[in-house]
Structure 1
Amino acid sequence: MNDAPEERARQARATAAGGAGRPRTAVADRIAAAFADAGVDGVAHAVDIDRGTEVGYGADRLVCTASVHKLCLLLALHRLAAAGRLDLTEQVECAVEGRTPGGTGLAAMLDAPRMSLRDLAYLMIAVSDNAAADLLLARVGLEEVNHTTEALGLRLTRAVESFGATQEGMREDAGPAGARALTDPLVLARLRALDPTHGNRSTPRELTSLLRALWRDEFLPAAHGAAVRRLLGLQVWPHRLASGFPFDDVQVFGKTGTLPTLRAEAGVVAYPDGGRYAVAVFTRAADTGLVVPAADAVIGVVGRTAVDGLRGIA
C-alpha cells in the first residue's frame, strides 16, 4: 500500500462519491483521520449487504491479503464439495514432517492427528492455522481457488502461493538474522511478502463483494453458505474488527490477516435489527514492532465508523 498521497486522496473521494455525496465524504474523512491517529497507512470498504450502499477509503487499492486469503480457500473448498468433487468428511493424515510452521492449531502441535477436511477448515478460520490451510490447499489447489474468485467476478483477487511459501519467502528476504530482522525497516522494504504485486492479493472492495455474495446465498448453495458463515463466526480474535462492536447482540464474523507491519480483517457485522454489513480494513503500521495495539484497534474503529455511516449515525 504505497500509493502517493494525492492518489490515495483521489481513491477516497471516488469511493465516497459512490453513495450520497457529502455524507459519504464525511465518513471517508473520519476513516482517514482514524488511520492517521493510529499511525498507519490504511484502506477500507464497507457495504450494506441488503441495500448495496457503500462507504470506503482507497477501496480499490491492491493489498497483500495474508491470511485473509484463507477465506477464498474456504469458499473454493465448499464450492468443490457442493459440486460433488470432494467429501468434507474425507480424512487427512496431518504428518509432522513438512508441516507449515505457525503458532496456532496443527502448526503448534507436536503429534500427527488424523482430521477431516471440514475440521481442518475450522482450524484454518478459527485460529488461522497455517498448517491446516496448506493441507487444504494441497487438496483444493491454487488454480481452483482462483477459479472460485473469478466465478465471483473478482478481477484483482489472486492466489499465487501457499501460506508456507509466503513464510519461506520472508525467511529468505530476512537473511541470516532471521525473524529478528523483521522489525528492521531496511529488511521490511525488501520483503516480497509485503508487495501486493508479488503474492496473494485482493482489494477491500472485492473482498466485501465476496462477503456480500456469501451472505446473500448468491454463490454457494444455502447449506454450504451457512457452513462457511458458521466458521467465520467461530474466529477467536476479538482485537481487530470485533473490538469496534462491543455489544452482546451484535455478531461479528471475520478472518484476520497478519504480516510484518500489516494487519487486516475482512468480515461481516450483523445487528439485531437485521442490518448486515460487509467490511474489509487493511493497514500498514509505521511502527515496525510486532505488538502495536493501536494498529490492531484502528481496524475496529474504522469498521465501526464505516458501519455507522451506512446506518446513518453521525
Structure 2
Amino acid sequence: MMIDQPGSDASVRPDAQAALDGDTTPLGRRTHWAVELLTAPAAPRDEDLSGAFVPVFLARHPQGFAATVGQWRGLGPFTVTDYQPVAHKSWVTLEGPGGVRSTLSLTLDSTGLIRVLHLGPEVVTPEVRAWEDLERALEQPGVTWSALVTREEDGVTRTLYAKDADRPMPNGSSYKLYLMRALAQAVAAGSVRWDDRVTVTPALRSLPTGDMQELPDGTRVGVRETAYKMIAMSDNTAADLIQDLLGRDAVERAVVEGGHADPSLLRPFLTSHEVFEIGWGDPELRAGWAAADEEGRRRLLERIAGPMTVRGSDLGPTVHQQGLDWHMSAWDVSRVLGALTDDAARDTSGVVDDILTAYPGVPVDSARWPRVVFKGGSCPGVMMFCWLLEDPDGVRRTLVLQQCADDQKLIGDGQFLRGMGARVIESGLLGGTSR
C-alpha cells in the first residue's frame, strides 16, 4: 500500500539534500539512488534498475520501468526540499519548475530491495492548533470518520478529544493488534516460543501488503520474524500464519480480553486470506456471508479453505458494508493498544516491545516521545491510523483516526489521514487538558 507519506506543509528544509546525502543507512542509500534516477544528467536504462527492485515490482511494469522514470524526469528538473526517513520507508519532497512539488515515496523489502517507488503530487496537510482544525480537515462529503485522543496516567484515562469514538468502524489491518495480543499471551504461557517456526503453504498465502506471500511453498520462518513483519510491515501472510499457529479461538478470546465492546462483531475472526477470497471472489460467497449468522459464516469459512483464487487486480468495490472487515470503535482500538503495552511491560525478553515499537508510522521527536507504538490499516473504502505514545515520565497518550466510505476514491491512499495524525502529534495538543 502506498499510503505512508507523513504530514507536510509548504515549507522547505534547506538542509534536506545534505541530510539525504549524509544518510548512509541501507534506506538512505536506496533513497539517494532513487532520487538520482530523477536528477542525474542521463536517464536510466532498464538493465540499470533490475538489481535494485524486488522482482514482483518490475513484473508489474512489463514494458520496462525506465519508461515510467522517463515520464517522471519530464516533470523536472527537481530540487530536494524535504527528506523524511522512518524505519523501512522514506519520503522525499521534490520541487520542480514553477514551484510544483511532488513526493517520491519508497519502501524497502525485508531483503533491502525496493518494494514500492512512487512519485505523486505532494499532499499538503493543514496545521493543527486546536481540535476544531482537525474536525475541519476530516469533515469531507461522503466520508464517515471518528477520532479519539486520550491521556493515561496512574491508571486513570482522560479523554482529550473524541468524535464518534464509540461507533464501530471497519479498520483494515489494525486487527493484527489482537493477533499480537494472542501471540504474546501464548508465549507468556509457554505454548509458543519465539524461535518456533511457521510454514508457508498455498492455503495460508495471502495478498500484499508485505512480502511473505512471495516465499516458496514449504519455507519455514521463525515466529519472532513473522510477528515483526505482521506489525512493522503489516504483512498479511505473516498475520495469517500467526493465526493458523494460534487457532481462531485463541484470537477470539484475545478480542474479549482486549476490551472490545462488542466481540460478536469479530466472530468469526477473519484472516486476510478469507476477506480477500469472500470480498472479491465468487459473488455468491459475499451474498452468503452477508445473509448468514455466526455459525453459518463459520461453515462458509470451512468451505473456502484452500489456496486463494483472488488476485490483487481483482480488488475494487468496497465490501466493508457487508461485514467483510474487522469492525472496532476508536475506543476498542485504544483499549487493545493499552493492553498490548501492558503485555510488553510484562515480557521480560523485550521481544514484544521491540516488535511494537519497530515502526512509528511518522517521524516522531524521540526526546518528547521516547516510546511509540503504531498501526495502520486499509481496505477499499477504509483507512485508519493509531498511535500510543509515551513521554519520558511514562505517561501514555493514544491517538486513533478512522475513515470509511462507500467509494474508495473518497478515501484515497491514506497520505492525508496519516499526515493529520502527524500534525496532531507535533501540535502540542497531546499534552493538553481534558475536553
TM-score (norm 2): 0.54
Spell out, residue by residue over 1:241-287, the C-alpha distance to the aligned partner (whole angstroms, 9 max, x if none): x26xx424334321111101311122212334544212221112663
8 A contact 1:130–1:163 mirrored in 2: yes
Seen in structure 2, the aligned counterparts of structure 1 residues 302 and 136 have a Cα distance that, compared at 3 Å, is same
Q: Per the alignment, in what secondary structure is the counterpart of residue 53 of structure 1?
A: strand
In structure 2, the partner of 1:53 is 158
Q: Which amino acid in structure 2 is aligned with residue 165 of structure 1?
A: E
In structure 2, the partner of 1:280 is 400
In structure 1, the partner of 2:229 is 123
1:144 is aligned to 2:250: yes
Spell out, residue by residue over 1:149-184, the C-alpha distance to the aligned partner (whole angstroms, 9 max, x if none): 212332324252111011112222789x9766755x
1:293 is aligned to 2:415: yes
Q: Per the alignment, in what secondary structure is the counterpart of residue 61 of structure 1?
A: coil
Q: Per the alignment, in what secondary structure is the counterpart of residue 234 of structure 1?
A: coil
Higher Cα radius of gyration: 2
CA drift of 1:31 comes to 3.1
- Which stretch of structure 1 is more off in the superposition, 202-211 or 96-105? 96-105
8 A contact 2:143–2:411 mirrored in 1: no
Higher helix share: 1
Spell out, residue by residue over 1:13-43, the C-alpha distance to the aligned partner (whole angstroms, 9 max, x if none): xxxxxxxxxxxxx965443212026984311
1:162 to 271, 274, 280: 271
In structure 2, the partner of 1:92 is 198
Seen in structure 2, the aligned counterparts of structure 1 residues 289 and 211 have a Cα distance that, compared at 3 Å, is closer
CA distance in structure 2 between the partners assigned to 1:199 and 1:64 by the alignment: 6
Q: Per the alignment, in what secondary structure is the counterpart of residue 139 of structure 2?
A: helix
Q: Which runs of 5+ in 2 are unaligned?
A: 1-128, 285-309
CA distance in structure 2 between the partners assigned to 1:297 and 1:174 by the alignment: 36
Q: Which amino acid in structure 1 is aligned with residue 139 of structure 2?
A: A
Aligned positions of 1:163-182 closer than 5 A: 163-172=272-281
In structure 2, the partner of 1:268 is 388
Seen in structure 2, the aligned counterparts of structure 1 residues 293 and 267 have a Cα distance that, compared at 3 Å, is closer
CA drift of 1:120 comes to 0.9
In structure 2, the partner of 1:252 is 372
Q: Per the alignment, in what secondary structure is the counterpart of residue 187 of structure 2?
A: helix
Q: Which amino acid in structure 2 is aligned with residue 161 of structure 1?
A: L
8 A contact 1:63–1:196 mirrored in 2: no
Spell out, residue by residue over 1:173-208, the C-alpha distance to the aligned partner (whole angstroms, 9 max, x if none): 789x9766755xxx33xx2xx137454221110111
Relative contact order, higher structure (CA 8 A, sep 6+) = 1
CA distance in structure 2 between the partners assigned to 1:123 and 1:289 by the alignment: 25
Aligned positions of 1:175-254 closer than 5 A: 187-188=317-318, 191=319, 194-195=320-321, 197-215=323-341, 217=342, 222-223=346-347, 226-235=350-359, 238=361, 242=362, 246-249=364-367, 250=369, 251-254=371-374
- Which stretch of structure 1 is more off in the superposition, 34-43 or 277-286? 34-43
8 A contact 2:146–2:163 mirrored in 1: yes
Spell out, residue by residue over 1:34-75, the C-alpha distance to the aligned partner (whole angstroms, 9 max, x if none): 202698431111221324111211101111122101010011
Q: Which amino acid in structure 2 is aligned with residue 131 of structure 1?
A: T
Q: Per the alignment, in what secondary structure is the counterpart of residue 402 of structure 2?
A: strand
CA distance in structure 2 between the partners assigned to 1:39 and 1:301 by the alignment: 23
8 A contact 2:146–2:330 mirrored in 1: yes
CA distance in structure 2 between the partners assigned to 1:289 and 1:155 by the alignment: 26
CA distance in structure 1 between the partners assigned to 2:424 and 2:384 by the alignment: 11
In structure 1, the partner of 2:139 is 36
Identity across the alignment (%): 20
TM-score (norm 1): 0.73
CA drift of 1:97 comes to 6.5
Q: List structure 1 runs of 4+ shifted beyond 6 angstroms.
A: none
Q: Which amino acid in structure 2 is aligned with residue 57 of structure 1?
A: K
Q: Which runs of 5+ in 1 are unaligned?
A: 1-25
CA distance in structure 2 between the partners assigned to 1:304 and 1:56 by the alignment: 18
